[in-house]
């Protein structure tokens, strides 16, 4: 399986004739930190999740922003807002496992991480650096971690933890963060960890991976404890092949619902890709990894902040991220979700990178206004989905749809969602066995 653009005529490659590629990791960027302390995040996490997700764009009601507000008000207003100098962007994308598949089509490959200016604000929790003294160990709270990793990234390794409660076994996904670098202080290191935790631990939605805790293991390594999703990631599902059209559409609708919830909470993910979309035992798609997410609106704000910094995985990055210093991160998520939909349909990418130097993307831009479904979107099915995907992939972000617009689209509304792995139209989500997941990874 390769996730690569179609040929000059836009025809999709045959899934069965492609060799499996490597995966993509992220081009990282430091995002704006939530103005919240670890203590506030923990308090917010104890609050019960809402019965239903708020309407996208709905004001208030956010545990994340409420905690941020309390922390903001507690700070000295005279505190310096000086930010650290942005690091120069580093090009560290790794080469693909195969350079040429079916005439040189690009692969969905795992790429190295880049760091660029992201504008994190000051105000990390002071208690975070001291909490190790009081932390109950990972082993006591969540059980024994397997040595083998179930996931690896540029900044962390994920392992499966087994916790026995009397006769019942509970499983957790434990994300062990990298060690502190020699050139960063303990305060800087802890702030990076708590920033991600403060965001993810306040999000409660069926299509978002639940974050449980932030603890230290016996080796004093910081670990984020999350719900375990036995279905693996969407990348592996695409790679295996065999996803039905109704299954693809159901997954797409769940992804949009998850993104709409994030945006209603004032959070943009900025790294939507198949590897960051997990499947639970019931076929629910869950968004994970908030390492480069950005808080673009606090609860007391009506306007949104533009985001800075190049982040994400190159095939899914929107064109404005390459061209502008600032951009609306919500529209970046919408762009990436549309690319994921294309990947699910054809097991290939629509283009290597959304730059005019890419011939396939250049043809797409030149044909955008002259066709109702410019190549390669002309291959998408059903036909009714093409106008929506075209608007989600508008090269000019000013013409791109927001999630609230997508939710109102007639074709999108008609898509059947499943419950516990089955739907009224009869489609099912196939969850692989543990051995199959290991072979896919």
Q: How far apart are CA 104 and CA 96, in angstroms?
A: 12
Judge contact between 286 and 278, C-beta under 8 A: yes
Q: 99 catalytic, yes or no?
A: no
Q: CA dist 294 to 32, 212, 422, Å? A: 5, 20, 34
Read off the tokens for 282.
């019931």
Q: How far apart are CA 382 and CA 133, in angstroms?
A: 57
Read off the tokens for 170.
């509970």
Q: What is the torsional sign of CA 68, 70, 75, 78? A: positive
Instruction: Convert 406-436 to b/e letters by CB count within 10 Å (16 or more is b).
Output: bbebeebeebeebeebebeeebebebbeeee
Read off the tokens for 97.
């496992």
Q: How far apart are CA 108 and CA 431, in angstroms?
A: 22
Of the residues 40, 271, 294, 328, which is catalytic? 271
DSSP assignment of 51-108 equals SSPPPTT--S--HHHHHHHHHHHHS-TTS----PPPPPP---PPPPS-S-BTTTBPP-
Determine if residue 175 is labeled as part of a ligand binding site: yes
User: Nearest CA to 5 among 380, 375, 351, 389?
Assistant: 351
β 144-152/156-165 pair status: antiparallel
Residue with tokens 């985001």: 307
Binding residues for ATP: 175
List residues with catalytic annotation. Answer: 271
Binding residues: 175
């Amino acid at each position: 399986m390769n996730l690569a653009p179609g040929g000059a005529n836009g025809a999709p490659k045959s899934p069965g004739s492609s060799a499996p590629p490597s995966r993509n990791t992220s081009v990282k960027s430091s995002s704006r930190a939530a103005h919240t302390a670890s203590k506030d995040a923990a308090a917010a996490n104890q609050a019960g999740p809402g019965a239903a997700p708020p309407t996208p764009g709905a004001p208030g009601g956010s545990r994340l922003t409420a905690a941020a507000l309390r922390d903001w008000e507690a700070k000295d207003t005279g505190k310096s807002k000086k930010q650290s100098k942005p690091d120069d962007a580093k090009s560290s994308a790794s080469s693909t496992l195969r350079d040429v598949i079916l005439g040189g089509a690009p692969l969905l490959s795992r790429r190295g991480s880049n760091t660029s200016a992201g504008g994190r604000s000051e105000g990390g929790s002071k208690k975070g650096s001291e909490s190790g003294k009081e932390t109950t160990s990972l082993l006591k709270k969540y059980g024994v971690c397997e040595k083998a990793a179930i996931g690896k990234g540029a900044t962390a390794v994920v392992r499966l933890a087994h916790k026995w409660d009397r006769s019942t076994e509970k499983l957790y996904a434990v994300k062990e963060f990298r060690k502190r670098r020699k050139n960063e202080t303990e305060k800087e290191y802890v702030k990076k960890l708590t920033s991600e935790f403060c965001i993810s631990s306040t999000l409660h939605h069926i299509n978002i991976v639940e974050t449980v805790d932030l603890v230290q293991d016996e080796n004093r390594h910081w670990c984020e404890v999350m719900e375990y999703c036995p279905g693996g990631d969407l990348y592996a599902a695409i790679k295996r092949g065999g996803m039905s059209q109704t299954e693809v559409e159901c997954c797409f609708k769940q992804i949009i619902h998850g993104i709409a919830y994030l945006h209603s909470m004032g959070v943009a993910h900025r790294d939507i890709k198949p590897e960051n979309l997990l499947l639970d035992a019931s076929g629910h798609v869950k968004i994970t990894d908030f390492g480069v997410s950005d808080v673009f609106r606090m609860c007391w704000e009506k306007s949104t902040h533009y985001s800075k910094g190049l982040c994400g995985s190159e095939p899914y990055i929107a064109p404005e991220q390459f061209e502008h210093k600032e951009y609306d991160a919500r529209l970046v998520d919408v762009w990436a979700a549309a690319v994921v939909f294309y990947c699910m349909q054809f097991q290939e990418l629509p283009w290597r990178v959304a730059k005019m130097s890419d011939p396939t993307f250049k043809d797409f831009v030149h044909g955008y206004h002259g066709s109702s479904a410019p190549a390669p979107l002309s291959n998408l099915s059903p036909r009714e989905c093409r106008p929506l995907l075209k608007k989600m992939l508008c090269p000019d972000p000013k013409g791109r749809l927001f999630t609230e617009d997508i939710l109102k689209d007639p074709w999108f509304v008609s898509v059947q969602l499943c419950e516990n792995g089955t739907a009224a139209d009869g489609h099912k989500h196939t969850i692989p066995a543990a051995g199959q997941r290991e072979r896919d990874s």
